[in-house]
Amino acid sequence: MLINTKKNHRLSEQQVTDESVYHGRRELLKKLGYLGAGSLLAQSASTNAGALDFFSSKEAEVFQRQALKFAPAGESLQILTPEAKISSHNNFYEFGMGKSDPVENAQGFKVNPWQLSISGEVDKPYTLGYDDLFKHFPLEERIYRLRCVEAWSMVIPWVGFGLAELIKKAAPNSRAKYVAFETLYDPEQMPEQKSRFGSVEYPYVEGLRIDEAMNPLTFMSVGLYGKTLPAQNGAPIRLVVPWKYGFKSIKSIVGIKLVEDKPPTTWNILADREYGFYANVNPAVDHPRWSQASERRITTGGLFARNRIATLPFNGYGEEVAHLYKNMDLRKNY
C-alpha cells in the first residue's frame, strides 16, 4: 500500500514565497531592522539623514525603489544586461566621474518631492509632481539597446511612457521647433556640481528637434527591471533616445521646455568637435579619439567575454528614425 505523505521539507523557499518577496527578503529584513531601531522615520531616510546617521550605519542609506505596474514587453531577442551591472556602471557626473561613483554617492538622493515642469512654446504648460510621474500616463516596458559614446553598450528593460504623450498634453504651438531638457541643479545633493575643478557646466542640459522628440521611440523612463529607477540611473525620470549616444539621454529631469531655437547641449558645449547636437549612433563617423565602428556589449560575461560586436547605424533603429535625417549630411551633423 502506498502511503502518500506530504513532504513539506522538500519545498524550497521560492515555492512558498512570492517571487518578488523572496528576492526582496534582504530588503524586508532591513526594513524590519529599521522599525526595530525604533524609528518610523526610516522610510524617508533621506529627509532625516542627519538624525538617522547617528545610530544607523551607512548601509541604512539605501535608495528605495518601488515596484511599478506596467504593460510588460514581450520576450527579448537579445540577452538583457543584468540589473546589477546597469545600476553599477553609470556615467552620471553629478555624482562623480568614475563609473562606480554614482552608485556610491547617489544612495541618499532625494527624489520625492519632485517637480517636472513642461513649459515654453506651449498653450497649456503644466507641472508633474513625484506621484504624477507614475500615474499621469499609462506605463509600459520597452527593451532598448543603449550605446554609449565610449563604445560600450547594454540592453535595458525600461519602464515609462512616450515623450510624445507628455508633450502633446501641453499643446505645443507652431513656434515649438526644439525641446530643451534640464537636469536638477542641487549642489548639496550632487557633489560634482560643487566642484571648483570640474569642467562640466551645470545643470546638465540636452535637446532634441521636435520631430525627434515626437518619434514613438523616444521614451521617458521612470523605471527599469520593473521597479522605479535607481538614483544613479537618473531617478525619478529620465529621457531614453535609443538611436543616439547615451549622453543624449539626460537624467533626473526637472525641466522640459519647448523652444524655437536649437538649445545648447552639455557635451557639445564641452567639446563641440567631439560631440554634436545630433549624436546619432553612427559606425561610419568615428569619435576623433576612438573608433565607433564596433562596441563591447556588456551582458553576463566578465573579462573574457567575446562581446565586441559591430555597431549599427542609428543603433539598429534606422527603420524607425532614418527618415528624420534624409537630405542631411550626417558626417557634418554628427
CB of 254 to another protein, least distance (A): 22
Options 30-38, 42-50, 290-298, 319-327: segment touching another protein (CB under 8 A): 290-298
Q: Of 35, 84, 284, 328, which lies in the binding site for another protein, with binding defined by CB under 8 A?
A: 84
- Asked if 191 is part of the footprint of another protein (rule: CB under 8 A), the reply reads no
Closest CA to 81 of 152, 150, 160, 21: 152
Q: Which three three-digit cell numbers place residue 282?
A: 553612427
- Asked if 198 is part of the footprint of another protein (rule: CB under 8 A), the reply reads yes
- Asked if 23 is part of the footprint of another protein (rule: CB under 8 A), the reply reads no
Options 110-118, 123-131, 219-227, 299-307: segment touching another protein (CB under 8 A): 299-307
Options 24-32, 41-49, 67-75, 289-297: segment touching another protein (CB under 8 A): 289-297
CB of 72 to another protein, least distance (A): 24
First to last CA, the chain: 79
CB of 321 to another protein, least distance (A): 26
Q: What is the DSSP string of 19-77?
A: HHHHHTHHHHHHHHHHHHTT-GGGGGTTTTHHHHHTTS-GGG------B---B-----S
Binding to another protein (CB under 8 A): which residues in 118-157?
150, 152
Closest CA to 170 of 127, 205, 115, 212: 127
- Asked if 17 is part of the footprint of another protein (rule: CB under 8 A), the reply reads no
Report the distance separating Cα 221 and Cα 295, nearest Å. Answer: 24
Contact residues toward another protein (CB under 8 A) are 84-86, 88-89, 93, 97, 99-100, 150, 152, 197-200, 270-271, 286, 289-291, 293-294, 296, 298, 302-304, 306-308
